[in-house]
């Protein structure tokens, strides 16, 4: 009788995503991990529709608990949120940060939004911090084919692990996520 091959379970990392753009980026990180034969599974959860950051944080906490019940514990957990709407909150985002801290999320705050975050992946733009409303123009000036809600394949056609590591040099929380996933050298 043939022995059944046992498949080793991958370490799971939870990534709560503000929207489709972040979900595509998370899938891109999974592809990078797969290419390096890192035994990890990034569990991507799109938190839309949610609206304000407080609702996003609440949905992230609920989704995290639900995913633990479904598939067991995680090796780490993170969220990717924009900072552009934090100022709209009366407490400046303190309640949001408290929810995320309670669940021990690594919080990747995209300044001011996902496009501003992606901008810092490009050489010479690592320290650029465009004001709200200006990041899309700044990004498309160096990446004319960029559009919102890009898939992992579309991202991979333009950016690489080298780009991600460049951004991680100025984004400490991204660096922490990359360590959880196993993408740091």
Whether residue 4 is contained in a domain is answered as no
Looking at the domain assignment, is residue 6 inside a domain? no
In this structure, is residue 87 part of a structural domain? yes
Q: Would 2 be classed as within a structural domain?
A: no
Residue 1 covered by a domain = no
Q: Has residue 59 got a pLDDT over 80?
A: yes
Q: Residue 34 is part of which domain span?
A: 11-181
Q: Is residue 5 part of a domain?
A: no
Write the CATH number for 138: 3.40.50
Residue 3 pLDDT more than 80? no
pLDDT digits (tens, 9 = 90+) for 74-130: 999 999 999 998 888 889 899 999 999 999 999 999 999 999 999 999 999 999 999
Q: Look at residue 4 in the predicted model and tell me its pLDDT.
A: 76
- Is 3 part of any domain? no
Domain count, the chain: 1
State pTM to two decimals: 0.94
Q: Kindly give, in sequence order, each residue whose CB lies less than 8 Å from that of residue 102, ignoring residues fewer than 6 positions away.
A: 61
Predicted confidence (pLDDT) at residue 166 exceeds the cutoff of 90: yes
């Amino acid at each position: 009788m043939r022995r059944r091959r046992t498949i080793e379970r991958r370490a799971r990392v939870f990534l709560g995503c503000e929207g489709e753009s972040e979900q595509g980026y998370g899938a891109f990180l999974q592809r990078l991990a797969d290419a390096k034969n890192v035994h990890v599974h990034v569990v991507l959860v799109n938190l839309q529709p949610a609206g304000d950051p407080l609702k996003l944080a609440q949905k992230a906490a609920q989704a995290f608990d639900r995913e633990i019940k479904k598939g067991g514990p995680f090796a780490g957990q993170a969220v990717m949120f924009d900072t552009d709407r934090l100022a709209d909150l009366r407490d400046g985002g303190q309640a949001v940060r408290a929810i995320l801290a309670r669940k021990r999320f690594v919080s990747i705050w995209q300044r001011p939004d996902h496009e501003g975050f992606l901008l810092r992946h490009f050489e010479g733009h690592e320290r650029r911090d465009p004001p709200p409303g200006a990041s899309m123009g700044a990004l498309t000036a160096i990446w004319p084919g960029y559009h919102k809600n890009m898939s992992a394949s579309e991202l991979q056609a333009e950016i690489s692990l080298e780009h991600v590591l460049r951004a991680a040099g100025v984004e400490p929380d991204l660096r922490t996520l990359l360590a959880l996933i196993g993408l740091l050298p």
